[in-house]
Structures are given as structure tokens and as C-alpha cells.
Chains A and B, each alone.
Chain A
Amino acid sequence: MIEFRQVGLTVDEYDIQGVHRQVTILSGIDLRLPERRVAVIGPNGAGKSTLLQMVNGLVAPTSGVVLADGVDPVRDPRRARSQAGYIFTDPRSQLVMSTPVADIELSLRSLVKKRADRHRRALELLAERGLADIAARSVHDLSGGERQMVALASVLAVEPTIILADEPTTLLDLRNREQLRRAFETLDQQILCSTHDLELAASMDRVIAVEGGRIVDDGEPGAVIQRYRDRMVRLADPNPVHR
């Protein structure tokens, strides 16, 4: 289970004249997430990715505490990272080796000591996701969808209990989005996913709307998404007099 207890984040910022100001990225985040699949929606710059990054210790809050299955990522980042796998928007940044099998073997290095066992396990993991045919292909030659599925396999290799997915469908076409959504449905791990993809959000158990670093809505997907859509339509209206 993921918990945010009065979490806030402020950062120092300097403008072009060197004038200092404090910017609040997140404030007053108080959440308890026992659901298996949770989506975070909100406009660009709302703080969605930061919220996710706090769960595996990539970003530390300036106030409050985050707990991932009882582990505070600030106090024990190594443990937090081993139990919370992170999927980035662009898998090209995430896949650091030249082939899918090599990338998964890299994930397994600290867990499986024998090279032959690592190789066998890496191939098994790729086969489980239907990626056996591309195991030895260059990651640069894969499609966006294939890369994202390899990134997911690479994260799953270390058997995390939580999957954090930062806008995982943004760069994918419709078929690959659907494939990833189905993959999420089959996973046993808890999934916390930030997204602009409202179809993906609708398939989750709970949806949280974040705007301006605060939670503005939280609850059952259908209702939260509808209210979010209405708010965004109102904000995009060039002629608010007629609202």
C-alpha cells in the first residue's frame, strides 16, 4: 500500500535577474492507496510525475512522509527502489543496454548470480510478455510499443511489489496503448500511474485528479474523469462570458 502523509514539496527558483522565490510543486497531499490500480490525472505541470517519483525516492518531499509498503524512500531509498519499479514516459531513456535481453540481464545482475541463469530468466521474462522474437534485436530498431513492453519486462524482472508508471502511453499508438492497458490488468503488483490517457485512467480502480500541486478530486474513475473533463473544457473556453 502507498501512503502520503501531509506531503509537500517546495523548490528554490531564480529568475533571469537572479531574484529568488520559492515554488510549491506539491502541498498537503494526504492519501492512502490500498487499491491495486490507481491513476493520477491532471494538466501538464500539475505535479503528477513528482508524486510518483516520491514513491521510489527519486524526489524527496520537503514536508511530510511517503510510505511504500511501509518503507520510507527517504530513509531507505535502496529498499524503496527495489520494491517500486518505475516506468518512464520515454522508454529510450530507460533501456540502457543495446538489446532487450541484455537490458533485462542488467536488471537481474544483483539478484541472479550465474550468468546462464540470468540469460535463461531474461528470455523467460521476454517470452511471458510475448517479446521472445525481439530478444536480440537492437533497442533502437524496436517500435515505441515494443520498447515500452520491454521496459515493463525489465521492471518486472526484479519482482517489485509496486509499479510506478509515468505517462506510459503518451508516446504509443492506439494498438500499443491497448496492449499496455491489458498488461496492467494482468499484473499482480499495485500500479500507480500518472496519465493524460483518460481511457487508461477509466480502466483503473481509483482516480486522483491533481491540479496546481493539490488534490482536487478523488474517487471512482467515471465520476472523477467526467468532472476533470468538464473543468478542462471550461478552462479551454476562449469566451468564458458564455459559460
Chain B
Amino acid sequence: MSGRGRVEDYLGVYVPGSTPAHRMPVGAKYLMLIVVGVLPFVLRIWWFSVLCLAVSVLISLLVARLPRRIALRIGIPLWIMNGLILAYHVVLGDWRRGVVYVASLMACLYMSRVLTCTTSADALMDAIAGFARIFKPLGASPEKFALAVTLMWATIPYLLGAVLSIQLTAKARGLERSSWRFVIPVMVGIVGHALEVGDALRARGLGDEPGPGPETRQLSES
């Protein structure tokens, strides 16, 4: 599997299925994310954060039935970050706060994964467009807004892949220690990719305003 593929595992790419989590409306999943993943940050009660973390693990494994590799893997950098957060608060004499931050962060991550792993991109776009419809009287285009958010999400693996690719190129030229040198080629690559995606969207007519015309014609087989 490519580096990008592994990056996508961490982000939580849609896993087709028919579990209760897959069948649940997107709105209910967002509500679950808010209650289990966001509320602990607001309440800041250590045992509640731990409880939410346990609930998020149970939802991931039993309700969404995600493979453990996809549901629970967080990678070494996040383990290190969690360890540093916990150590920092223990040293300051308030271990409870450390537990709140670490457990809440993990619960939020796992619940986000449940949302993205059990909801197709198309369903997510529908949900985002549905939410953005309230801004329509102000001139907003819900479909464009949904497309922009989805594209932003879909581009993250590409961006991380671009950094890895430039690092490899630099390593091949013996420049692996000059990490600051990566910035400009990565930026150039990202801008180039954005232009290409812009062209692709334009070529596919995805940025065009909907309205009467060929876009509204019926497909012959649908």
C-alpha cells in the first residue's frame, strides 16, 4: 500500500457496509459526534471523558463494526503527543486535566472516524448541502459549499503524500536534514495540484451554476 493509502487509514476513508452505523442518518451521527466527541471538552470532567472514550471505542467496534486496525490506530506521533500532554499536566500537579484532554481528544478522533468510515462521500455532501441551504437567502450555493468542503477533505491525503514525496526526493539527493528546503517545492506542488483540480472541475462542469439546460436533462438509463 502506498504512503497515501496509510494516510487515508488515519483519516478514515469510507468503508462500505450495512451496519447500524451505516444505516443511521448522517444527522444522528453528527449528534453522536457532538455528545461523545465534543461535550467532554466542554464539561472537563475526567471520568466523563474516560467514559466517552470507552463509549467511542464500543461504537467503533460494535455499532460501526470497523476493523480494529481502522477504528483504533492513531500512529506514533499522536501517542507521543498524548504522552507529552499527560506528562505536562502530571508535572503541574493536575493529572485530571491531562486525562480530560487525552481521553476527549481520542474520543473525538474515534467518533469522527465512525462518521467518515460509515458515511459515503455522496451522503456527506448531501448533509453538508442540506445544512448550507439555510444560507441560500444570503446568496450562498449549497452544492458549491458541499463540493468545497468535500474537496478539502479529499485533498488532505494528497497534501500529506506531496510532503512525503518531496522528502523522498530530497533524501535521494542527500538533503534529508534540510527540512526547511521542503517548504517551497511542497507549496509549488500544492498550488500546481490546485490549478489542475480547478481545471478538472471546470472541465466536468462541477463549478457551474445549476439551472435549466442540459444539466437537468434525464439520463437515458436512470
Contacts and interface: CB of A to CB of B under 8 A. Distances in A.
Contact of B203 (A79, A86, A99, A101): A86
For chain A, the bracket of interface size reads 35 or more
A115 B121 contact: no
A83 B147 CA distance: 21
Given A82-B214, A136-B14, A140-B4, A121 B121 contact: no
A107 B219 contact: no
A141 B126 CA distance: 26
Interface string A62-100: 000000000000000111011101101010011011110
B217 A105 contact: no
Which of B120, B143, B203, B209 has most chain A Cβ within 10 Å?
A: B203
Contacts of A82: 205, 213-215
Contact of B14 (A78, A98, A117, A158): A98
Given A112-B219, A117-B222, A140 B204 contact: no
Given A106-B122, A112-B222, A58 B206 contact: no
A93 B220 contact: no
A119 interface: yes
Nearest to A80: B205
Q: Chain B interface secondary structure, helix, strand, loop or mixed?
A: helix
A217 interface: no
Given A82-B205, A111-B222, A141-B2, A97 B8 contact: no
Given A78-B215, A138-B5, A99 B222 contact: no
In the complex, the 7 A-B pairs of residues with the closest C-beta atoms, listed nearest first? A93-B196, A86-B203, A81-B205, A102-B121, A140-B4, A82-B214, A105-B122
24 contacts: A58-B202, A81-B203, A82-B214, A82-B215, A88-B199, A94-B203, A94-B204, A96-B154, A98-B13, A99-B121, A102-B122, A105-B120, A105-B122, A106-B125, A106-B150, A108-B219, A111-B215, A111-B222, A115-B126, A136-B14, A138-B13, A140-B4, A141-B2, A159-B220
Interface of B: 1-2, 4-5, 8, 13-16, 120-123, 125-126, 143, 147, 150-151, 154, 157-158, 161, 193, 196-197, 199-206, 208-210, 213-222
